[in-house]
Structure 1
Amino acid sequence: MAPNVTTVEEITDSLHQGLDLAKLGKEQGRYLVYPDKKASYPELEPFEHKDRGLRGDPKKASIYDNATKIFDVTPHIGTEIHGIQLSQLTETQKDDLALLVAERGVLVFRDQDINVDQGLEFGKSFGPLHVHSTFGHPPGYPEVHVVYYDENSVEREYLDATTQTEQWHNDVSYEEQPPSVTLLKMTLVPPTGGDTMFASSYAAYDRLSPSMQKFLEGLQAKHSAQRQFDEANAQNHVIRRTHVESIHPVIRTHPVTGWKALYVQPEFTTSIVGLSKHESDAILQLLFNHISAGYDFQVRLKWEVWDNRTTFHNPIFDYLDVAPRHGWRVTPQAEKPYFDPNSKSKKQADREARAARKQ
């Protein structure tokens, strides 16, 4: 189904109308709207970010004491939580959630009643909400990123021309201040397939040799939105902002945990600053292969909250000939990525914590 196009006046009307996105996705398919003028969106402004996870309880008691069931899905990434509704979190629970997701990378909450307006309020608790430069969105909801794919999706040509290993990414890492805690609510899922794979960028760093870790620390890489801009131009969609790329550290430090994480991926990272093209391409391909082959620090899930700073993710398009998949995402922005040379790896922090408990 071809996307609808609306006027700039409609697109900039941020009065949320209580849309039922689950119903829209089921009945209308790809119901997105697009602006007809670039001026409908301003450039993103820099801001100071202080992660609320810094206020979290190390025991995360407000989460653990109120969940009916909670368990780690794999040793390195993913925790599943039952019995808590994201629509009803207290401020203390949001602090503890921010700390828990910083540590575990991905949280899965089952049987959620949260609607899109509540999702926006949830997202605002963690930072200014991102509006995508090229993608459409529901009428009146520019901050909502819709996930809708079926057998007729215009993106299918690109998906058919690439391998699944090329689609690992951190969302919009080309922004100066990329996202942090991110909410994805699925409303329509195929009977089989349509999962998302996540990989821990903490563990990805830990799995590198000490010599490679030392080499990468302090390097910077270019992250580019050019492919998404080219796709928008090909589909005659307005590109809302001029910003195309940012330079971020190859190894970044999480502001809450203080742990080191690998921060390059094949979707948006195009080169390493200061290296020749030959050297940059070789190092990046090595790191991309390292991520895609890291089966011991990956997890495959449906329905989740994740930290875009310390996880890579990869939607699995194995369902396009089976049934549609629909959901929506709310994406708060956070700090500009940085590297603290005094930060620790997660492996080192875990080792020190175990030693402290034995004393």
Structure 2
Amino acid sequence: MAPSVAEKTAPDSEAAPVGKNLKVESATVQAEEKGPSYPAYYPTFDVTEKWPPTEIFEHHDPGLRADPRKPHLINPNTTTRDISPYIGTELLGIQLSQLTSEGLDELALLVAQRKLVVLRDQDFKDIGFEKQIAIAKHFGPIQRHPTSGNVPGYPEFHVVYTDPKHDFFREYRGNRINRTQWHSDVSYEKQPPGTTIFWILDQPPLGGDTLFLSQVEAYRRLSPEFKKRLEGLKAVHSAVEQAEFSRKKGGPVRREPVETEHPLVRVHPVTGEKALYINQGFTRRIVGYKQEESDNLLNFLYDHLARGADFQVRAGYAPGTVVLWDNRLTAHSATGDFEVKQIRHCVRLTPQAEVPVEAKPDLE
């Protein structure tokens, strides 16, 4: 059963065009029409929403406060299972909604260390908007997405929704054979995301998982001489294409798109690990390089990431699954392998972190 907060409104049974205010009807009628299980999270796209540019803030990573033994997170009642040597841990026996401040600090540390943490059988989807947002804010101010679907009155929510009448996933990827698109969320922000929360409301019975990779291990695999080549380089991350796509579809551009320079290799403030910080979704060019030079180097790195099956994992979902990942150390891609007649409905809260810090050269 949907939570009480979800009983307020539901989407119109007819597909509402992107950029228009969505009509609502009772949740009972929507359930009879086999719509989303949590209609209060149905995405809306209000073209009248306008926000000022983001401002720089001072970020204090909660992982720095954490007890490295993690006594408030891992205890005799919890079980951990590493998914691969380089990325991913499944953590059983806790409820995210019940963690103390100390437990959330320790979770931030675990996410930084393991890059991806998968929680099962969570009540998080049922605890209500305010508590969900409050938990996410423990990790940093929440990014409000300039173009995606959100929830009226709660712009912090980034809603991912597909059903037979709304096939945004395939539409966005266009006329491509391969629907995989590795990216790190909104990396164009001056202060891109850190610890991110993503949970499932409706999931196809088969498919619709997410691929994750470790940009830390991807960097480690490079030769010492090649690492030297990357020292001091910066790349431009752009929101322009994302904004233009939304405009062409009649959708919102709530904040004017920005282009931001970030180091190609960044260092994590908690673990001290170095990670590549490039992604096909938003990285556009290397600063100071001519176009062919930039394309050559970036395409090599993109290929390196895509081919690195031994530092990639696939996170499978089920009712009650919540995943947390560190956007500073990972890239991910949705998988479009589910039937379009099925609903896939997910929500993301995206706390922002520090201005990316350039990694210093290794001492030989």
TM range (shorter): 0.7 to 0.9
| Separation (CA, whole Å) in 1 of partners of 2:339 and 2:234 | 37
CA positional deviation for 1:3:
4.7
Query: Alignment partner for residue 257 of structure 1, among 243, 255, 271?
Result: 271
CA change 1:207–1:165 in 2 (3 A) is: farther
User: Tell me, which stretches of 5 or more residues in structure 1 are unaligned?
Assistant: 8-21, 349-359
2:110 matched to 1:97? Answer: no
Q: 1:136: which partner in 2?
A: 149
Equivalent residues of 1:166, 1:266 under 8 A apart: no
Q: 1:12: which partner in 2?
A: none
CA change 1:30–1:54 in 2 (3 A) is: closer
User: Tell me, which stretches of 5 or more residues in structure 2 are unaligned?
Assistant: 1-14, 22-30
Alignment of 1:295-334 (within 5 A): 295-301=309-315, 302=317, 303-321=322-340, 323-334=342-353
| Separation (CA, whole Å) in 1 of partners of 2:41 and 2:130 | 19
Tell which deviates more after alignment, 207-216 or 260-269. 207-216
SS, match of residue 177 in structure 1: coil
Query: Alignment partner for residue 80 of structure 1, among 87, 90, 93?
Result: 90
Question: In the TM superposition, what whole-angstrom CA distance separates every residue of 1:192-227 from its partner, at most 9, and x where no partner exists?
Answer: 101000000110101111111111121000111122
Query: Alignment partner for residue 138 of structure 2, among 125, 137, 146?
Result: 125
Tell which deviates more after alignment, 125-134 or 313-322. 313-322
CA change 1:163–1:105 in 2 (3 A) is: farther
Identity percentage over the alignment? 45
| Separation (CA, whole Å) in 1 of partners of 2:251 and 2:266 | 33
SS, match of residue 93 in structure 1: helix
Q: 1:202: which partner in 2?
A: 216
CA change 1:67–1:246 in 2 (3 A) is: farther
Question: In the TM superposition, what whole-angstrom CA distance separates every residue of 1:318-342 from its partner, at most 9, and x where no partner exists?
Answer: 1143511111111101111111316
2:73 matched to 1:59? Answer: no
Equivalent residues of 1:24, 1:31 under 8 A apart: no
Equivalent residues of 1:260, 1:343 under 8 A apart: no
2:263 matched to 1:215? Answer: no
CA positional deviation for 1:33:
2.0
The aligned amino acid for 1:131 is R
Alignment of 1:154-303 (within 5 A): 154-155=167-168, 156-164=170-178, 167-301=181-315, 302=317, 303=322
The aligned amino acid for 1:240 is R
Question: In the TM superposition, what whole-angstrom CA distance separates every residue of 1:39-96 from its partner, at most 9, and x where no partner exists?
Answer: x322211101010100112222222215431111111000001111011110111111
| Separation (CA, whole Å) in 2 of partners of 1:171 and 1:36 | 22
| Separation (CA, whole Å) in 2 of partners of 1:27 and 1:56 | 34
Tell which deviates more after alignment, 180-189 or 131-140. 131-140
CA change 1:165–1:100 in 2 (3 A) is: same
The aligned amino acid for 2:42 is Y
How many residue pairs get aligned? The number is: 330
SS, match of residue 339 in structure 1: coil
| Separation (CA, whole Å) in 2 of partners of 1:192 and 1:226 | 34
Larger helix proportion of the pair: 1
Question: In the TM superposition, what whole-angstrom CA distance separates every residue of 1:294-325 from its partner, at most 9, and x where no partner exists?
Answer: 11100100341111110100100111435111
| Separation (CA, whole Å) in 1 of partners of 2:174 and 2:45 | 25
Equivalent residues of 1:3, 1:30 under 8 A apart: no
SS, match of residue 345 in structure 2: strand
TM-score (norm 2): 0.85
The aligned amino acid for 1:207 is R
2:95 matched to 1:111? Answer: no
Q: 1:36: which partner in 2?
A: 47
| Separation (CA, whole Å) in 1 of partners of 2:204 and 2:253 | 31
| Separation (CA, whole Å) in 2 of partners of 1:290 and 1:309 | 18
Q: 1:25: which partner in 2?
A: 36
CA positional deviation for 1:166:
5.4
TM-score (norm 1): 0.86
| Separation (CA, whole Å) in 1 of partners of 2:304 and 2:193 | 23
Equivalent residues of 2:40, 2:151 under 8 A apart: no
CA change 1:27–1:338 in 2 (3 A) is: closer
Root-mean-square deviation (CA), in Å? 2.3
Tell which deviates more after alignment, 108-117 or 282-291. 108-117
